[in-house]
Amino acid sequence: MIKNTKIKFSILFTLTSILFISASDYKFLMFVPLIILIPFVKRKYGFALEKGLLRKLTEAFPLLYFVFSVVSGTNLFYALSNLLIIILIIKQILPCKEKDYYEIFLVGVLLILLSSVSTISLVFGIFLFAFLVSGTLMLSFAGIRSDEIKVPKIFYRKVLIFSLISMIFSFMLFFSFPRLSLGYFHGIKLSPQTQSGFSTDVVIEKGAVKLDSRVVMRVEVKDSNIYPPLYLSGMHYAYFNGMKWVKTKNVSKIFPYDSNNDFKLTSGMVKSTIFLEPNGTDVLFGPEKFVGVRGEFLYLKRNEFGDFLTDQTYYKTIRYDAFSSIGGKSDVLIKEPLGKKDKSKYLQVPKLPAEFGKIAEESARNGKSAEQKARNIANFLKKNYKYSLNPTATDIKDFILNKKTGYCQHFATAFVLFARINGIPARLVSGFATREYNPNGKYFIVRAKDAHTWAEVYITGKGWVRVDPTPPSSAPSLSRVEMLLDSIRMSWYRNVITYNSAKQMQMLTGIKTGITSISVSVMRSTMKFKMLFKRNKTVVIVVLMCIILFFLLFAKEKTKKETAILRILERKIGKKKGKGETLLEFAKRNGKLEELYEPIMLYYELRFSGRASPRKEADLVKRIEKLVKGIT
């Protein structure tokens, strides 16, 4: 009975471990059918693997597989994961001794560690509880040598309670253990390229665009006056070669924690907290006029336009604070005059047909100021050109002169060139623009399909001003269930995945405030009790004494009964019970298991059934005493 139970819980533990690593990649689920077939394989072919050459070859297979995987260039993460899973399977198929179950547990723990550095899934917490339950059950039965033990149902309830307490304790350690700010871990690259809809290469070409609804970031804006759409800039461009916008190579290294590099974070800035998913690029995004960032980065890079880039690509969710001057709340970088050199850079135009220039001049007609001209150009493009996700224009000239259909890159590029032809300094901006807002968690949801390109024009006295010449689209609508589920995920990101030292200090401050409040309440209650004690001193003392006496007598009586029965059973068995030996093992060793089995099991029920009523306990004692008296 116990032998089969060991195998059952060992397989359950193995399945839980594989589910853990499957949170990183669903490909690992292909091992699940193999695990389920283990009892059948073990029953039919297990005898052939007990010893001999076949067993040695089976034990050596995981090492041979790992060497082959490394030599053939398999991703190290997959090679290690497959190695551990194969070890688990082989351990299950071979005859298991007590030490083998402990080794299975150790391999399962290693799979959890691999999973934890490759995924931030919400199911990680759910699997953790299943891991604790199955692991506790497997280890509990691993140390039992006898196959004759009947396990009471209360044992399983206690394992569930123990696992729940362990999980609570683990979370307490997680939140209370000092956090170190050593920089973000970059994560593991599990796929050749993670697509986000955003690209640092802005190219004007024909071809259909496929919309992707995957979430690429969530943004908390610390200003209730910011409404959709929310523009999040990533890269700025100045030079256009006729086909594509060329990225600047002028990049410098900066250190976020350097006190000399405060990024001009003045009180007029709006702070946004961004939870950025893996996106296959090294670009950081922030609300427009994004001029400062704080996060646990080792270092960042910054180009001549003020764009922020990470030291390398991240393959895990990261959290950082972005500071910007959206809403005109700060004058930082707004009133700085544009020099002659920079002005010429933002007026650069490639070689274009004369007809292109005529249309550009026509679009800005009747504009008396640069700002009014820019507005006229944007309205001209929206009115005379059509938005399409399947443009056929081969370049910007073909878009303006012939096809007249395109998406944001076509419209933004055309606007910048039109503005420059009319003498207005302009530049292109790529990033995201979202209208999706979750009121449950009070944050914006940004999806891959929200990738967008727009323009900025330089207006004297105002600085760079955003202009979006692309025709507007309708705002998406989320169901209440979708918003609720996403807010749960966001809570997981906020409080677990991106939990850092700053968040810990905030939590400790809240706990301190709560303890202070509780202390005040306790003091008030104590004062009330003192007043009650003064008025009714005799009554309070008598009640307390009765309560204490009742519990002491009850506990003493219960201990006496259990101890007496234990001594009687030991005397009936005879000789001396070994250290760590159970009553059942003791009786079996002395050849009295059959006649004493029933009273021993009743004693176990009396001893370990913590929820038994006094009437049931009394009944158990009588039944044990009756059975013992009948044994000679």
Does 246 share its domain with 283? Answer: yes
Q: Please check whether residue 285 lies inside any domain of the structure.
A: yes
Q: Please check whether residue 557 lies inside any domain of the structure.
A: yes
Residue 436's nearest CA partner among 190, 229, 591 is: 229
Does 312 share its domain with 447? Answer: yes
Q: Strand ranges (DSSP E) for 380-485? A: 386-387, 405-406, 426-434, 437-438, 443-447, 451-459, 463-467
Does 154 share its domain with 228? Answer: no
Does 459 share its domain with 529? Answer: no
For the question of whether the overall pTM of this predicted structure is more than 0.95, the answer is no
Does 515 share its domain with 485? Answer: no
Does 373 share its domain with 415? Answer: yes
Q: Please check whether residue 188 lies inside any domain of the structure.
A: no
Q: Please check whether residue 258 lies inside any domain of the structure.
A: yes
Does 420 share its domain with 551? Answer: no
Q: Please check whether residue 463 lies inside any domain of the structure.
A: yes
Does 83 share its domain with 49? Answer: yes
Q: Please check whether residue 401 lies inside any domain of the structure.
A: yes
CA atoms within 13 A on the CB side of 411: 27
Does 152 share its domain with 273? Answer: no
- What is the DSSP pairing of strand 405-406 with strand 386-387? parallel
Instruction: Provide the H-helix boundaries in 266-395.
Output: 340-345, 354-363, 370-384
- Please give the pLDDT value at position 399: 92
Does 432 share its domain with 515? Answer: no
CA atoms within 13 A on the CB side of 234: 26
Residues ≥6 apart with Cβ < 8 Å to 406: 385, 387, 388, 391, 393, 399
Does 220 share its domain with 309? Answer: yes
Q: What is the b/e burial string over 419-454, where b = at least 16 CB atoms within 10 angstroms of the residue's CB?
A: bbbbebbbbbbbbbbbbbbbeebebbbbbbbbbbbb
How many Å apart are CA 386 and CA 188, to the nearest integer? 42
Q: Please check whether residue 182 lies inside any domain of the structure.
A: no
- Please give the pLDDT value at position 193: 41
- Please give the pLDDT value at position 507: 60
Number of structural domains the chain divides into: 4
How many Å apart are CA 186 and CA 189, to the nearest integer? 9
DSSP 440: T
pLDDT per 10-residue tile (average), the chain, 632 residues = 73 86 80 82 69 79 87 82 88 81 88 72 72 84 69 79 79 60 52 56 79 86 77 92 88 62 56 85 87 82 89 81 67 58 88 92 89 93 90 90 91 94 94 89 89 91 88 71 78 67 61 71 73 66 73 54 71 72 77 78 72 67 73 62
Q: Please check whether residue 183 lies inside any domain of the structure.
A: no
User: Quick check: helix, strand or coil at residue 150?
Assistant: coil
- Please give the pLDDT value at position 537: 65
User: Quick check: helix, strand or coil at residue 309?
Assistant: strand
- Please give the pLDDT value at position 334: 45
Does 481 share its domain with 528? Answer: no
As given in the structure block, the two tokens for residue 129 are: 């509880």
Residues ≥6 apart with Cβ < 8 Å to 162: 136
Residues ≥6 apart with Cβ < 8 Å to 552: none
C-beta of residue 581 within 8 angstroms of C-beta of residue 565 = no
As given in the structure block, the two tokens for residue 248 are: 């600047």
What residue numbers bound the domain in which 17 lies?
Answer: 2-176
